[in-house]
Amino acid sequence: MKLKSHKRSTVAGRAIAAAAALLLGGGGLIAINVSASAGQGGDSSQEQPAEVQNASTIDCPEVRDQVTEVPQDAQSEVDNKLAELDTQVGDAYEKMVQNRDAAESDPNFVQNSVLDPLAEQRRTTIDDISSSIGNDAPQGLDQMAECQLKEGGAVADDGQNQAGDDQAQDGGQDQGGEDQAGQDGGQDQAGQDQGGEVQAGGPSPEDFVDITQVEPNVQEPQEQQGASTGTFTTDCGVESAPRNSDNVIVAPGVSNGAQHMHDYVGNQETGAFVSDDDLVNGDTSCQNQGDQSTYFWPVLRVQDGQDEQDANAPGGGQDGNIGTIQTPSEVTLEFKGNPAGDVVAMPRLLRIITGDAKAFTNGDANANASWSCTGFEDQVQLKDKYPLCPEGEQVVRTSKFQSCWDGQNIDSANHRTHVDFANEDGSCDNGFQAIPQLVQRLVYDVQPEPNFAVDSFPDQLHKPITDHGDFINVFSEELMQEAVDCINEGRQCQ
């Protein structure tokens, strides 16, 4: 299958060549030389040329993913401590950036003054988590305190166009949109004796690709006899509830628990401190008032050198998220069926997170949000690249949510294990049953220039693979059953 014929924007071509200059000029990138990675005997003779350096960030083991069983009366304390680990990494990353001169003059500065103190902080917090869980605490948590550096992508530190056409284009050619993050993004670089950089902000020129240069890679599962082929679409607008940098699912009760700003549609009761009762009784922006669900995702910004209202606020400029926030031109929230059979109703207040906000350092195991352009969605989907779209086309973010449920729980200790993705044939694993799959599609009218990015945790460098979405089901029981019937009967409803 060949790509549709599109005329490539001349703006996009010029933008690729100017990527480094744009990022350094208005994007808030700061790079310094760290001659030894994570304290591993560095050799200054191995440093890369000054024109194109490699930015580094802090890579820590993800404790949250290992915490799968927590006593109910300890869940709040554990959630708070897990959020504390995120804050510690963000603070350490900020310290590394702010002390770039010291890091340049002392090859041991990052290890001695950043990574070692961070490990001590994490060790104390991890011990607190284990104590809160008690006898069922996972084995080996105490070995997850140590962090290292991870290469984050090429940056031209003098503002010249050193990234060049070839580097920006080759970043995505012939990749087929496969899961390259954690491979060409610098996996296992922390322990190697290479010159590194500390950058504040991001993204890197390597994170962008001209979508017309990417081979088709989309394959849809084949529908089987008895598949549920209907859809239910809910219209909740493009921007409704006030933005904030909380995450009521992952870090309930923690202000700025996400360290990046979220857009919300649907339920107007948002933020870390809302209760289930608040959600059930909250107003909704959805046209069908039976849908009081909350849908949220990290905002997209153009790093244009302009200050947003949150320029000096947590989740905004204080956490390295800068530039003009873009409101989507279109938001589609569609619930789909299962290619292997019928779906059952979601329980009210079911929580689902899809994607991984820390996929750059965690790896791509939970990364599943994808990027494309209008006119290309049925052919090219990218996980680890931002697309530069042809003239007249728009950037599209798509998140497919888990569509198998354990039949019992509306949440789990790590907020993942109560739901799962279907197998390739559409079947759910034993003990799980198929539910309607939320497919969230966001469209943005941004210029084909490598200066836009999702908000992220400071240490995640605004990588496209960190995109994610969050959903709390607050459909009325009547509307959910209507949606299920519609899907199972092969109808298209809204």
Q: Where do the structural domains in the chain lie, given as residue ranges?
A: 10-493
Residue 201 is predicted with a pLDDT of 65
pLDDT single digits (tens) 405-415: 999 999 999 99
- Please tell me the least confidently modeled range out of 9-13, 235-239, 460-464, 484-488: 9-13
Residue 38 is predicted with a pLDDT of 37
CA 492 → CA 330, 340, 442, distances in Å?
A: 19, 18, 20
Tell me the pLDDT band of 162, cut-offs 50, 70 and 90. Answer: very low
Encoded tokens for 408: 């019992």
Amino acid at 412: S
- Residues 156 and 136: their CA atoms lie apart, in Å, by 49
Tell me the angle at which helices 116-133 and 75-98 cross, rounded to the nearest 10 degrees: 180
Tell me the pLDDT band of 103, cut-offs 50, 70 and 90. Answer: confident
The better pLDDT of the pair 191, 475 is held by: 475
> CA angle, corner 310, sides to 306 and 312, nearest 5?
90
Chain centroid to Cα 460, Å, comes to: 9
**What are residue 234's DSSP bridge partners?**
333
Amino acid at 165: D
Tokens 């019928």 -> residue: 342
Residue 1 is predicted with a pLDDT of 37
- Residues 34 and 426: their CA atoms lie apart, in Å, by 48
This prediction's pTM: 0.82
Mean pLDDT of the chain: 83
Residue 401 is predicted with a pLDDT of 98
- Residues 394 and 376: their CA atoms lie apart, in Å, by 10
CA 249 → CA 56, 127, 186, 260, 319, distances in Å?
A: 29, 23, 30, 14, 20
Residue 236 is predicted with a pLDDT of 98
The better pLDDT of the pair 353, 53 is held by: 353
Is the pLDDT reported for residue 419 higher than 50? yes
Residue 200 is predicted with a pLDDT of 52
Phi/psi at 480 (5° precision): -65, -40
List of E strands, 312-382: 324-326, 330-336, 351-355, 370-373
Residue 184 is predicted with a pLDDT of 39
Residue 153 is predicted with a pLDDT of 67
Tell me the pLDDT band of 56, cut-offs 50, 70 and 90. Answer: confident
Tell me the pLDDT band of 474, cut-offs 50, 70 and 90. Answer: very high
Residue 4 is predicted with a pLDDT of 36
Residue 54 is predicted with a pLDDT of 54
The better pLDDT of the pair 352, 191 is held by: 352
Residue 220 is predicted with a pLDDT of 78
Tokens 């491979």 -> residue: 183
Tell me the pLDDT band of 55, cut-offs 50, 70 and 90. Answer: low
- Residues 154 and 31: their CA atoms lie apart, in Å, by 10
Q: Which among 47, 62, 304 has a CA at the least distance from the CA of 201? A: 304
- Please tell me the least confidently modeled range out of 39-53, 142-156, 266-280, 327-341: 39-53
List of E strands, 310-365: 324-326, 330-336, 351-355
Q: Which DSSP string corresponds to 75-126?
A: HHHHHHHHHHHHHHHHHHHHHHHHTHHHHHH-TTHIIIIIIHHHHHHHHHHH
Is the pLDDT reported for residue 35 higher than 80? no
Is the pLDDT reported for residue 493 higher than 90? yes
Share of the chain above pLDDT 70, in %: 79
pLDDT single digits (tens) 60-94: 999 999 999 999 999 999 999 999 999 999 999 99
Is the pLDDT reported for residue 366 higher than 70? yes
